[in-house]
Structure 1
Amino acid sequence: MQSRSSKNIKVIDVSHHNGTINWTKVAMDGVKGAYIKLTEGTSFLSKTAYSHYLGAKNAGLRVGFYHYAHANNDPIKEVNFFLEKLGNMKVDLPHCLDLEESKGKNKAQVTAFGLKWMEYLQKKTGITPILYAGLSFSNSYFSSAVAKYPLWVA
């Protein structure tokens, strides 16, 4: 895993939980990019995703989107839902799979879900996605098979 460095660019993640954001202030604080929660599972669309997208873009930030996954769903349906809701919004950062809950699945099942989600998304878009999870969750629920994708540790 990459070590922290003062040379790393600062990228934040935001969701509907953050409410209204002053994107100009965010940019003035040295933030260079934002990952915005777009979808969750197969039915939740963030009501703030588009306004966050416009605000971040207008402030000159690079933008990417993340999908909060439910490992007990069909990963293909989740990817299709994410891409449908993404529509014509232009991204500057790779798509991100946020996988933080096992939903009763074991390590092999969670790993298989994550791999299928990321492989299918990459096939559909040509973009290599990144995986977001906490360190403890990663150690407990991912095998080395996911190592071919970049990991963003919470």
Structure 2
Amino acid sequence: MKNKIISLVVAVTFVSATFFMPKNVHAQVFKGIDIYEYDNIQNWNTVKNSGVSVVIQKASQGLYHNDSLLNYRYPKITSAGLKIGYYHFADNTGNPIGEAQHFLSKVQGLHSDTILWLDIENQPNWTKQQAIDYTNQFISYVQSQGYKIGVYTGLSFYYEYLQGNISNNVPIWLASYGRQPQQYPNIVSWQYSESGNLPGVVGNVDTDYFNDSIFTGQATQQTNNSTSTATTQNNIDTSISSLQSELNRQGYGNLKVDNIAGRRTLSACPTVHKGSRGNITKWIQQRLGVTADGINGYQTQVAIKNFQRAHGLYADGIVGKNTWRALLGL
């Protein structure tokens, strides 16, 4: 992806897209492009006929910038029969919730075939903790508003900053030019070039191979013997059965571990206050898409309150029966 203010620093692409086209893979792959207002698309039908099936259009950036071509392109893309999605380019404003609200205000009312996307890049502009906190808070807020979302970033940014430190339930889309990501295509989608040449496009355009998680919003979970400590810490099972097992272990109930969120499971859930620690707090954190460190601190409180507001609950940051009911989908 590109933006007017800051460009992604990338390696030169030495190998053609044809060379990289995956063969005999398990995940279904969809060819796509991602665009912003400075890309020159002249004929959408020609783009589709070239094999492209998905277009991810920039919607917003930071707190105030809107892509000037979003609403102009929207009917053209959909009329051509292309699947459409939208992304927000992150600025390090210190206000991820405000940026998420800005993004949602731009895409609200527009049809989307894919999940929404957060584009966070330009590694020198972020400290590791800033990137982690921003990403988790942005994701949590968007999810609290009823949307599914994934994260786009560069290969090194993801592995050095984000992997294991953000929700492992969101799809990942990685930019890597000249090098196929190790987890592609079953785990991640891949932006393989920023200088693609396609019929119907004047100049270069970002080109991508997407797996079907962009439609479902369900990230494929990875098993890796070299998983880092941070990844292990965040790899919390958010199924109802895992919660039931933990409630039994801590003596809150004698529940049947059946993965069914019913009255007995709800009754066994304890009230979780600010400062609470442990695996139940981790389960809540992962359910909300924030860093699962088992400590109900500031970031978790923000996520809980946003979740409560989104579900018409009193936003006090306390996970009581009504909040548990919403978390369990009752």
Superposition CA RMSD, Å: 1.8
Q: CA deviation at 1:148?
A: 2.6
Q: Provide the residue aligned with 1:118 in structure 2.
A: 139
**Residues 102-151 of structure 1, C-alpha deviation per residue, up to 9 Å, x if partnerless?**
46431122111001101110111x22201000101212321412233111
Q: CA deviation at 1:4?
A: 6.3
Q: CA deviation at 1:20?
A: 3.6
Q: Provide the residue aligned with 2:37 in structure 1.
A: 16
Higher strand share: 1
Q: Distance in 2 between matches of 1:50 and 1:21?
A: 16
Question: Percent identity between the aligned chains?
Answer: 28
Q: Distance in 2 between matches of 1:89 and 1:64?
A: 9
Q: Distance in 2 between matches of 1:9 and 1:20?
A: 19
Q: Distance in 1 between matches of 2:144 and 2:83?
A: 23
Higher CA-based Rg: 2
Q: Distance in 2 between matches of 1:63 and 1:20?
A: 15
TM-score normalized by the length of structure 2: 0.43
Q: Could you tell me whether the CA contact under 8 Å between 1:108 and 1:143 is conserved in 2? A: no
Q: Provide the residue aligned with 2:157 in structure 1.
A: 137
Change (3 A) 1:97 1:4: farther
Instruction: Read off the aligned partner of 2:144 and give its amino acid letter.
Output: K
Which of the numbers 63, 70, 83 marks the counterpart of 2:84?
A: 63
Instruction: Read off the aligned partner of 1:15 and give its amino acid letter.
Output: Y
Instruction: Read off the aligned partner of 2:134 and give its amino acid letter.
Output: F
Change (3 A) 1:4 1:120: farther
Q: Could you tell me whether the CA contact under 8 Å between 1:41 and 1:69 is conserved in 2? A: yes
1:54 aligns with 2:75: yes
TM-score normalized by the length of structure 1: 0.89
Q: CA deviation at 1:92?
A: 0.8
Within-5 A mapping of 1:88-127: 88-102=109-123, 104-124=125-145, 126-127=146-147
Q: Distance in 2 between matches of 1:32 and 1:38?
A: 19
Instruction: Read off the aligned partner of 1:5 and give its amino acid letter.
Output: P
Change (3 A) 1:32 1:144: same
Q: Distance in 1 between matches of 2:170 and 2:157?
A: 16
Q: Provide the residue aligned with 1:33 in structure 2.
A: 54
Q: CA deviation at 1:63?
A: 0.6
Q: Could you tell me whether the CA contact under 8 Å between 1:64 and 1:95 is conserved in 2? A: yes
* Helix, strand or coil at the partner of 2:84: strand
Q: Could you tell me whether the CA contact under 8 Å between 2:62 and 2:93 is conserved in 1? A: no
Deviation larger for 95-104 or 49-58: 95-104
Deviation larger for 101-110 or 127-136: 101-110
Higher helix share: 1
Q: Could you tell me whether the CA contact under 8 Å between 2:58 and 2:86 is conserved in 1? A: yes
**Residues 86-110 of structure 1, C-alpha deviation per residue, up to 9 Å, x if partnerless?**
2311111000000003464311221
**Residues 27-79 of structure 1, C-alpha deviation per residue, up to 9 Å, x if partnerless?**
10111111000100011101111122111101001110000011333111001
Q: Distance in 1 between matches of 2:124 and 2:141?
A: 21
User: What residue ranges of structure 1 are gaps of 5+ in the alignment?
Assistant: none
1:152 aligns with 2:169: no
Change (3 A) 1:71 1:130: same
1:45 aligns with 2:66: yes
Instruction: Read off the aligned partner of 1:135 and give its amino acid letter.
Output: L
Q: Distance in 2 between matches of 1:20 and 1:5?
A: 26
User: What residue ranges of structure 2 are gaps of 5+ in the alignment?
Assistant: 1-19, 176-330
